[in-house]
Amino acid sequence: MFGVALVLANLAPEVPPLIPLPQSQKVLGTTPFAVKTDTKINSEQPLFAVQELRTIFPSAPLADSPVRAANQINFRREPTFQAEQYVLNVAPTRIDIAYGDASGALYAVETLRQLANQNQVLSYRIEDKPRFSWRGWHLDVSRHFFTVAEVKRSLDQMARYKLNRFHWHLVDDGGWRIALDRYPELTKKGAYRKSEPWSYSKIELTTDTKGYGGFYTKQEVRDVVAYAKERGITVVPEIEMPGHTLPSIHAFPSLGCRDAKRIPDNSWVTNVYCAGKELPFQFLEDVLSEVVELFPSPWIHIGGDEVDKKWWRECEDCQERIKTEKLKDENELQSYFIRRIEKLVNAKGRRMIGWDEILEGGLAPNATVMSWRGIEGGIAAAKSGHDVVMSPTSHCYFDYGYPSVSTEHVYSWDPVPKELKGKEAERVLGGQANVWTEWIPDVRRYDMMVWPRMLAMSEVLWSTAPKDFTAFSKRVNASYPLLEQMGVDYYLEEPVTETSFFFNKAPTVFSSSQFARPVYFQVDPKAPAEQWELLGQHELPANKAFYVAYKRNNGTLGDIAELYRSDKIAPVPAGSVVSGLKVSFWEGTYKSCRDFEELSPKGSGVANGVGLFARPRANNYALRFTGKIRFPGRKFKLYLTSDDGSVLRLNGIKVINHDGPHGDTTKSVGVEVADGVYDFDLRYFEAGGGSALRLEVEGSGLKRQPVPQSWFSR
């Protein structure tokens, strides 16, 4: 008996890698259901889900059957189920799907897609429904334009992972993207720009359709909305106002304050709709009338974020409005503006949603708030009885890099803050990932910014199952083939190496990433993927940089890490034992450490370590620290933080290159050294704005800390 039980246990299927995790899942047995050439489908209603089902098993015809029966996949609407709810029951003889609505049926099929292995599906019972009703994906098509086909591709991906609100950011300073009958000038004058790549200060709109940009015709919008609807997705259009609307004010300067013509100065701070004149309200009523006709969404997003109130402060009409409406200030003027817009939206039978700035000066009575500058706006709105969609930059901004919004970080998110309880918590409709596209010029980059962390967002918004990131990572790994089938170029981190700069020794340890994969290497980072070879099969090159990366399952390369191994360099003689480093300084406007290296310094002195205590003046200067450093161990991680650029060399070799003008950021590198004294050389420049310089170390038993003074000598 014991032996038999053991065999059965071995045969029992592993828990399949579903994302998002369902409410409940149960293995029913070890015999799968097999889809055969005579397997049929029964559905009492015409369902898009049935069409999708056929894409899972393309080799089986899956003819329609008029009755529920065995050797069939049977769909049945269950009136007691809520929207999006489903039960998927896979037995060896049949598959039964019960659903609350068409979305529920589709989600059952998408779950089935993840369970299917060729033509077989595990015997399984899944009972499932979402935690949140708003599971959003926002796409900015203004800063960079995405075609109808590209938008549909996102909608397909959303349906796969049970996301259901597509927030289409159609208006912003980068271009007006929706053609309206009443105002053809909006897309004629506002949909193309001369400059690309993206630069806020260089937006110059043009009527030349050979410029960068594009727009959607009404027919295309209807097509997208219908395509989304089939997939259970509501398209929520965003028409930005009163700020972030350069194109409309460019097309109709009298919509702005003071009829300003050429609006962008040298920043994103562009002109806004004048809240003193009536014209913008008439214009927006016309615009919204056409918008609601195109979009059946119950919500219309009116933006409301980042309004530069300087325009209103300096505008006679706006100041007059503040007086006549007895408003306190420009915040209340914004509130006045948004309330008027809400009336228009409500009069058309729709609900207004806006970014959390619409709270300033008093929230419009029926507004839904999208909380992005944190969660405070969302908490305040929920406490005052308003619906809320959480989308804080901390977890939901997928234009941010993975180091700041990692997959793990997204996964750890709870859209309901602990401050909200009971009825207040129920005000949180859900959450949303936002894809702003200033730095996302194409689909390849888009894919990488979205995947795999959208998998984490999907689970956060759908599932109530307890969080376990290790287990989730395994399911992420198992999801890559499905993403690759969809042609997704997901982000694949660079291999994490304990050390990436080696003196004498080859690296031995690559700390395993959560997405453990073999490591490939090349001396030429531009070499095609197939020429990258498995690390460990060859001697590593010495005294030159080499590169390592993971490969996706389809053979393409992930992010590339640069490593360096030196076999020539031994610790230099200790020489003098005078403590401290020599510091030299330059005065001038530099953009790179190269700019001052050849110049004679203005002066010099001694510093106890690396930092800005040696700064010669507030702005526009450079420093160079030279001397020796003794490492009391073998493996260390060095962190170089600077604002602006800095470069660290050991024995003349560039170990950290953090050069160029930039804000307060950190670059780190692992070094593996022989115990001893090395030549130390750190260059730094400050080019206006903030300033920072820190060199920290951790490893060989040390917690991260500034490099101790006692390590330096000259």
Is residue 686 a contact partner of residue 661, using CB atoms and an 8 Å limit?
no
- Of residues 185, 285, 306, 587, which has the active-site annotation? 306
Look at residue 255 and give its three-state secondary structure. helix
353 is a contact residue toward Zn ion (CB under 5 A): no
Using CB under 5 A, count the residues that bind Zn ion: 6
Tokens found for residue 175:
């271009």
Q: Residue 554 is inside which H or E element, if any?
A: none
- Of residues 144, 167, 244, 250, which has the active-site annotation? 244
355 is a contact residue toward ligand ACM (CB under 6 A): yes
- Which candidate, 88, 85, 56, places its Cα nearest to that of 75? 88
Segment 236-295, which members bind Zn ion (CB under 5 A)? 257, 274, 276
Tokens found for residue 14:
């592993």
CA distances to 191, 250, 398 from 301, in Å? 20, 22, 19
Per-residue interface string for the shown chain with ligand ACM, residues 155-174, x marking contact by CB under 6 A: --------------------
Which of 143-151, 313-321, 626-634, 635-643 is the region at the interface with Zn ion (rule: CB under 5 A)?
313-321
305 is a contact residue toward Zn ion (CB under 5 A): no
Which entry of ligand ACM, Zn ion, none binds 176, CB below 5 to 8 A by partner kind? none
Least separation, in Å, of the C-beta of 437 and ligand ACM?
A: 12
DSSP conformation class of 13: P
Which entry of Zn ion, ligand ACM, none binds 595, CB below 5 to 8 A by partner kind? none
Is 167 tagged catalytic? no
Q: Which is nearer to ligand ACM, 138 or 637 (CB)?
A: 138
- Which candidate, 612, 616, 613, 591, places its Cα nearest to that of 603? 616
Is residue 258 a contact partner of residue 243, using CB atoms and an 8 Å limit?
no
**E-state strands within 208-335:** 212-213, 234-241, 299-303
Which entry of Zn ion, ligand ACM, none binds 257, CB below 5 to 8 A by partner kind? Zn ion
Q: Is 71 left (phi over 0), alpha (psi -120 to 50) or beta?
A: left
Please identify the residue of the shown chain whose CB is closest to the bound ligand ACM.
Answer: 305
308 is a contact residue toward ligand ACM (CB under 6 A): no
Tokens found for residue 8:
């059965």
CA distances to 410, 491, 532, 595, 683 from 558, in Å? 20, 7, 12, 33, 31
Q: Which is nearer to ligand ACM, 107 or 372 (CB)?
A: 372
Q: How many CA atoms, within 13 angstroms, populate the side-chain half-sphere of residue 300? A: 30
Is 138 tagged catalytic? no
Segment 368-427, which members bind ligand ACM (CB under 6 A)? 372
Q: Which is nearer to Zn ion, 258 or 667 (CB)?
A: 258
CA atoms of 340 and 208, how far apart (whole Å):
35
Which entry of Zn ion, ligand ACM, none binds 372, CB below 5 to 8 A by partner kind? ligand ACM
Which entry of Zn ion, ligand ACM, none binds 306, CB below 5 to 8 A by partner kind? ligand ACM
DSSP conformation class of 429: E
Least separation, in Å, of the C-beta of 352 and ligand ACM?
A: 15
306 is a contact residue toward ligand ACM (CB under 6 A): yes
317 is a contact residue toward Zn ion (CB under 5 A): yes
Which entry of Zn ion, ligand ACM, none binds 276, CB below 5 to 8 A by partner kind? Zn ion
Tokens found for residue 694:
């820190």
CA atoms of 150 and 707, how far apart (whole Å):
49
299 is a contact residue toward ligand ACM (CB under 6 A): no
Q: Which is nearer to Zn ion, 257 or 410 (CB)?
A: 257
Which entry of Zn ion, ligand ACM, none binds 305, CB below 5 to 8 A by partner kind? ligand ACM
Using CB under 6 A, count the residues that bind ligand ACM: 4
CA atoms of 280 and 275, how far apart (whole Å):
8
Look at residue 627 and give its three-state secondary structure. strand
Least separation, in Å, of the C-beta of 497 and ligand ACM?
A: 35
DSSP conformation class of 12: S
305 is a contact residue toward ligand ACM (CB under 6 A): yes
Least separation, in Å, of the C-beta of 322 and Zn ion?
A: 10
Which entry of ligand ACM, Zn ion, none binds 355, CB below 5 to 8 A by partner kind? ligand ACM
| Residue of 121, 239, 249, 315 interacting with Zn ion (CB under 5 A) | 315
Q: Which is nearer to Zn ion, 98 or 315 (CB)?
A: 315
Q: Which is nearer to Zn ion, 90 or 315 (CB)?
A: 315
Which entry of Zn ion, ligand ACM, none binds 317, CB below 5 to 8 A by partner kind? Zn ion
- Which candidate, 655, 632, 656, 637, places its Cα nearest to that of 699? 637
Q: In terms of DSSP bridges, do strands 501-503 and 520-522 run parallel, antiparallel, or are they unpaired?
A: unpaired
SS3 of 44-108: CCCCHHHHHHHHHCCCCCCEECCCCCCCEEEEEECCCCCCCCEEEEECCCCEEEEECCHHHHHHH
One-letter amino acid identity for 536? G
Is residue 12 a contact partner of residue 104, using CB atoms and an 8 Å limit?
no
Least separation, in Å, of the C-beta of 333 and ligand ACM?
A: 19
Least separation, in Å, of the C-beta of 371 and Zn ion?
A: 28
Which entry of Zn ion, ligand ACM, none binds 274, CB below 5 to 8 A by partner kind? Zn ion
CA atoms of 428 and 415, how far apart (whole Å):
8
- Of residues 96, 110, 172, 357, which has the active-site annotation? 172
DSSP conformation class of 273: B
Which entry of ligand ACM, Zn ion, none binds 315, CB below 5 to 8 A by partner kind? Zn ion
Least separation, in Å, of the C-beta of 257 and Zn ion?
A: 3
- For the chain, helix (H) and strand (E) counts, in that order, are 19, 39
Least separation, in Å, of the C-beta of 378 and ligand ACM?
A: 13
Q: In terms of DSSP bridges, do strands 24-27 and 621-631 run parallel, antiparallel, or are they unpaired?
A: unpaired
Q: In terms of DSSP bridges, do strands 428-435 and 134-140 run parallel, antiparallel, or are they unpaired?
A: parallel
Q: Which is nearer to ligand ACM, 368 or 713 (CB)?
A: 368
Q: Which is nearer to Zn ion, 105 or 257 (CB)?
A: 257
Non-local (6+) Cβ contacts of 161 within 8 A are 19, 20, 110, 454, 455, 458
Least separation, in Å, of the C-beta of 314 and Zn ion?
A: 8
Is 172 tagged catalytic? yes
Q: How many CA atoms, within 13 angstroms, populate the side-chain half-sphere of residue 665? A: 13
Least separation, in Å, of the C-beta of 353 and ligand ACM?
A: 12
Least separation, in Å, of the C-beta of 57 and ligand ACM?
A: 42
Contacting residues toward Zn ion, per CB under 5 A:
257, 274, 276, 315, 317-318
Active-site residues, by number, are: 172, 244, 306
Interacting residues with ligand ACM (CB under 6 A) = 305-306, 355, 372
